[in-house]
Structure 1
Amino acid sequence: MIPVPIAVFVSGGGTNLQALLDAERAGALRSGRIALTVSSSPAAFALERAQARGIPASVIARKNYASAADYDAAFPRLLDEYGIRLIALAGFFAVLGATVLEAYKGRIINVHPSLLPAFGGRGFYGLKVHEAALARGVKVTGATVHFVNGVIDGGEIIAQKAVSVHDGDTPETLQQRVMREAEWVLYPAATEAVCAALLRQDA
């Protein structure tokens, strides 16, 4: 079967995009192919990662649209051009509107740097998640891949992977360990599983 075309949405460095690209190159992402990268910022280093791999990239920034409705409508138009069937959020800091959520219902996934529902929801992103985990004194954290719906970090959980918190951890060291041990392993595997399920639906 033809692999599922994936659009990876980014805003910053794109380390999870890189993990997906590496998985595709290694043959671990067989049921999907990364067909497009969409960034909320023209300065995102993730765009350079996409360019280096020859992946088409586009910037859709809120400031370039007169209204939220116009901004929201820009996504399906672009995604339709590339025949996208799955959206993978990878450090995408913008909030998707109802038009996108409805058009791609059940076909938007995200990786979050905690074991949801812990340290999830509005305001929990990046280092803030790890700061909160350390402040709470948890001994185990990790990453979660979940479907995206209208509730921030509230969609159905697809997979989780635990990571130990070490004595002396800082938010930065914990973030790096969660990325290496959980996010970069879990996200490609979960993306492959979702793409495989979409292909089975086609069969």
Structure 2
Amino acid sequence: MSDSTVRSEALRVGVLISGSGTTLVNFLKEREAGRLPIEIPIVIADRECGGISKCIQAGLACEVLPRRTFENTAEFSRAIFDRMRAAKVDLVTLAGFLARVDVPDDFHQRVMNIHPSLIPAFCGKGMYGHFVHEAVIARGCKVSGCTVHFADSEYDHGPIISQKCVPVIDGDTPDILAARVFEAECAAYPEAIRRFAAARR
């Protein structure tokens, strides 16, 4: 199989980031290892963040669209999805993206998110990152995990694609639990993207 054939079969994935870009880096590692046949023609950040430098290092196109420069969510969302259409992406992935977006009809079940809990527990507005892990530990949960789902226009809502569980161990700190959950995320998100790509064939 030629390189051009491999490229033509690759899923075109747009990535939205707000933070350090660790999920994006995981995508790139999986792609480099031959386990995730994707192209990333566009990355959009909603703020200045560490993930932008990772995009530059990887040779990816990254545009910063600060949410505060838009009057409302509708205008912000329109700007994002106009760029996704122009880049001809097959799938949009929220990779630690903290802003809410309105998903247009032509991207129905073409926007994917990962959340660091077992939805419907510990999700919704304000529940992200360490806030989730702190709440899990405070509640005394014995398991946590991550959820990959198709995103709609609500926080952490939409059809669930997959979930992976991890134990919550006595003495866990939010940092320790976050690392364990992220390890599960590193497997779950690429797996969900592969399933999406397979379903389109």
Task: Kindly provide the CA deviation profile for residues 115-154 of structure 1, in whole angstroms up to 9, marking residues without a partner as x.
Answer: 1111111221110111111111111111110110123212
Gaps (5+ residues) in structure 2?
1-7
Alignment partner of 1:131 is 2:104: no
Match of 2:91 among 78, 86, 90: 86
Alignment partner of 1:22 is 2:7: no
How many angstroms does 1:66 deviate by? Answer: 4.0
How many angstroms does 1:71 deviate by? Answer: 2.1
Contact 1:21–1:34 under 8 Å retained in 2? no
Separation in structure 2 between the aligned mates of residue 133 and residue 116 of structure 1, nearest angstrom? 12
Q: What amino acid maps onto 1:35 in structure 2?
A: P
Q: TM-score, normalised by structure 2?
A: 0.91
Q: TM-score, normalised by structure 1?
A: 0.90
| Secondary structure of 1:146's aligned partner | strand
Q: What amino acid maps onto 1:192 in structure 2?
A: R
Structure with more contact order per residue of length (Cα contacts < 8 Å, sep ≥ 6): 1
How many angstroms does 1:60 deviate by? Answer: 1.3
Contact 1:143–1:162 under 8 Å retained in 2? yes
Q: How many residues are aligned here?
A: 194
Counterparts in 2 of 1:189 and 1:135: CA distance versus 1, 3 Å: same
| Secondary structure of 2:104's aligned partner | helix
Contact 1:114–1:142 under 8 Å retained in 2? yes
How many angstroms does 1:2 deviate by? Answer: 2.5
Gaps (5+ residues) in structure 1?
none
Runs of 4+ that moved beyond 4 A: none
User: What's the counterpart of residue 187 of structure 1?
Assistant: 189
Separation in structure 2 between the aligned mates of residue 158 and residue 20 of structure 1, nearest angstrom? 18
Q: What amino acid maps onto 1:138 in structure 2?
A: C
Alignment partner of 1:175 is 2:178: yes
